[in-house]
Amino acid sequence: MDRPVLELRNISKTFPGVKALDGVELQLYPGQVTALIGENGAGKSTLVKVLTGIYTPDGGDILINDEPVRMQAATDAKRHGISAIHQEAVMFDELSVTQNIFINNQNRNRFGLLDWPLMRRRARTLLEYLDVNIDPDLPLRELSVAHKHLVSFASALSINSNIVIMDEPTASLSHHEIQELYRLVRRLRDEGKAILFISHKFDEIFEICDRYTVFRDGQFVGAGEINDVTQDDLVAMMVGRTVKQIYPKIEAEIGEPVMTVEGLCHPTEFADIDFELRRGEILGFYGLVGAGRSEVMQALFGLTPTSAGSIILNDKPFNPRTPGDAVDQGLVYVPEDRQHQGAILSLPIFQNITLPQLGGLSRSGFIDMAREFDVARQYATRLQLKAASLSENVENLSGGNQQKVVIGKWLATNPNVIIVDEPTKGIDIGSKAAVHKFMGELVAQGLSVIMVSSELPEVMGMSDRIIVMHEGRIAARFDRDEMTAEAIVTAATGA
């Protein structure tokens, strides 16, 4: 067996409150495609950023051809022959194909000026190598998504790298384009390049990968030859632990339907969404990133207009046109992006908590500050918020406490349906447990919860029922007693 061209040993990276990578390892071999597998939040993207010099690891070694190297900037990665093709190509629509290919790797002539004729020739050669017929002078915006992808390929190849990282390269491609991509990957492999292939799709992993490495919760779980494992083995490694031990679910009495959604459609994002939400129930929505779950929830919250379908909420037709409508009817939404959508970071805690229900805390438009503080204090206490003062700005809180503020502000409106979108994303273990426990208490009090989550253990541990979405449609439904990790992941990947 060859020596690995790139080896990571014991790499760690910690962000405030989260251990994104915890002593992981990885080997890439020349002439082999290695799949990196893991759930959302397993640390794959962080690893890519470490490999491309965007993040500097807190600890551990990066070895290239057995030599330890330091990776501190994107130029370091380039120098060591590492190039990456990102999930959503970071490209410049108004610049030409040539300019995009050589965006950070320009050739200069002997006067120190950019040598465009040379770069244009090189661009043409690269595109020929990729077997595509694109005019290098066209502005990028005139290209199809697939061709844009190929341009980012050309850009990655322009630095003549030995190590190529592909972060979900097939995410936005059609079947035919994916076949083209496979051909390319094989060709790069046969030329002796080491390829790291990040994907959620098991069919493609088994189609073109030679080796696998599995991460879970920022930790290394296992690695080996793809021929030695089955899909079920990989899923088991991804999901790991028995989930019921970590999520002690409070059994709530499940009552009559509170909300019925029928045939909900959106022009582009989702279609034919049918489900029923009952009193005292936690309904989990699982799926890959981009499956359309958040879009459905935002439609229920009046943020996104729908093109067809009906919603019955509390026995009344419900057609929210603004979030205000939804809040008035007792449906609230804790968004995924806490810092941009959930909380107003530069305002104090108490103002965040009372914002949605200011009307109720005022007399003919004048805010009753004493009552406002009472309400804020009540919910801060109830959620065990840790803060120096209620007048402190939310930006000074930890991620977990910020999330408590967002949940608190919605609870203060006395909702009967609360939608939480990735409620524990990016928050520490302690706050995670508090949020989970709190959700259990809410349903015990007769609320209904819809929980969108990409974390399989969380969604399995907390939900009474799970709806799995795939490409904008409901792919499967599971009751609590029939959930298995394998079946859920299979439905979500559309395999």
The residues of the shown chain that bind another protein, judged by CB under 8 A, are 301, 303, 322-324, 326-327, 330, 333, 335, 340-347, 350-351, 355-356, 358-359, 362, 365-367, 369, 373, 376-378, 380-382, 384-391, 409, 411, 414, 416, 441-442, 445-447
Whole-number minimum distance, CB 19 to another protein, in Å? 26
Cα separation of 306 and 409, whole Å? 26
Alpha helix stretches (DSSP H) within 170-229? 175-190, 202-208
State the nearest-atom distance from the C-beta of 382 to another protein, in Å.
6
Contact 8, 60 (CB under 8 A): yes
Residue 414: CB atoms within 10 A of its CB come to 11
Provide the minimum distance between the beta carbon of 330 and another protein in the complex, in angstroms, as a whole number: 8
Is the CB of 100 or the CB of 298 nearer to another protein? Answer: 298
Residue 441 vs 479, nearer CB to another protein: 441
For 65, left (φ over 0), alpha (ψ -120 to 50), or beta?
left
Strands 82-85 and 163-167: parallel
Q: Which is nearer to another protein, 169 or 280 (CB)?
A: 280
Least distance (Å) between residue 444 CB and another protein:
10
CA distance 17 to 464: 29
Q: How far is the CB of 303 from another protein (least distance, A)?
A: 7
Q: How many whole angstroms separate alpha carbon 450 and alpha carbon 465?
A: 10
CB of 337 to another protein, least distance (A): 8
**C-beta closer to another protein: residue 138 or 355:** 355
Q: Which is nearer to another protein, 172 or 357 (CB)?
A: 357
Least separation in angstroms between residue 192's CB and another protein is 48
Least Å distance, CB 186 to another protein, is: 44
Give the closest residue to 298 by CA, choosing from 329, 279, 321, 276.
321
Distance (Å) of CA 406 to CA 238, 252, 328, 399: 30, 24, 17, 11
- Contact call for residues 143 and 151 (beta carbons, < 8 A): yes
CA–CA separation, 438 vs 424, rounded Å? 12
Between 14 and 413, whose beta carbon lies closer to another protein? 413
Task: Identify which of residues 231 and 416 has a Cβ nearer to another protein in the complex.
Answer: 416
Nearer to another protein, 341 or 398 (CB): 341
Which of 89, 49, 73, 236 lies closest to 170 in space, CA to CA? 89
CB 461 within 8 A of CB 249: yes
d(CA 307, CA 299): 10
